[in-house]
Structure 1
Amino acid sequence: MLISTLLAVAPRAVDWSPSVGAVMIICNILAIAFAKYTMKNPSAPPEMPSSNMFGGFGLPAVIGATCFGHVLGAGAILGLSNIGVL
């Protein structure tokens, strides 16, 4: 009884598609842009190998911004799939 109730409540996982990938890419771009204007010290060491390709970000800023982008992307994908857009 309890297992069937838990299975009924669990959300369905979204299958990957190009639109899911596009939502994740857009969320990562937004997170990097947000980080560019709000981080106190985005060029903290250690530096990236080609820092001009990464907008002058150091390794901690790149990791932090992309982690934030993935959190935003996961929420956006789950939300959009829940309302039926994806």
Structure 2
Amino acid sequence: MFELPPSGELWNWQGTPFIVGACLLVLLIGSRTIKHPHTGAKMPLPFSKSLFNNISVAGFLACMSFGHILGFLLTLGFANTALR
């Protein structure tokens, strides 16, 4: 009925590019589409002003959280297609 993935290492580096790419994509999109991206404490990064629209810490954490969820789902989706 349900197939279990092969057991082996608990963690490996294969899903890392998906998670990093998803986080950066969500950060680039989120910094331009959040309704109030400049409310609250600012990120103390030198490149955040031009590249990431000077996003606040709360906006950065929200984008990173959603990026990790999206990257995790991408990793699981690609892992399930590789098993078949």
Name the TM-score class by shorter chain.
0.7 to 0.9
Shift of 1:10: 7.4
Counterpart of 1:65 in structure 2 is 63
Residue ranges of structure 2 left out of the alignment (5+ in a row): none
Counterpart of 1:48 in structure 2 is 43
1:38 lines up with 2:33 in the alignment: yes
So what's the TM-score if we normalise by structure 1?
A: 0.73
Between Structure 1 and Structure 2, whose CA radius of gyration is higher? 1
27, 44, 50: which one aligns with 2:22: 27
So what's the TM-score if we normalise by structure 2?
A: 0.74
Aligned length: 76
> Secondary structure of the equivalent of 2:47?
helix
Looking at secondary structure, tell me which structure has more helix per residue: 1
CA distance in structure 2 between the aligned counterparts of 1:42 and 1:35, rounded to whole angstroms: 9
Residue ranges of structure 1 left out of the alignment (5+ in a row): 1-7
Shift of 1:43: 1.4
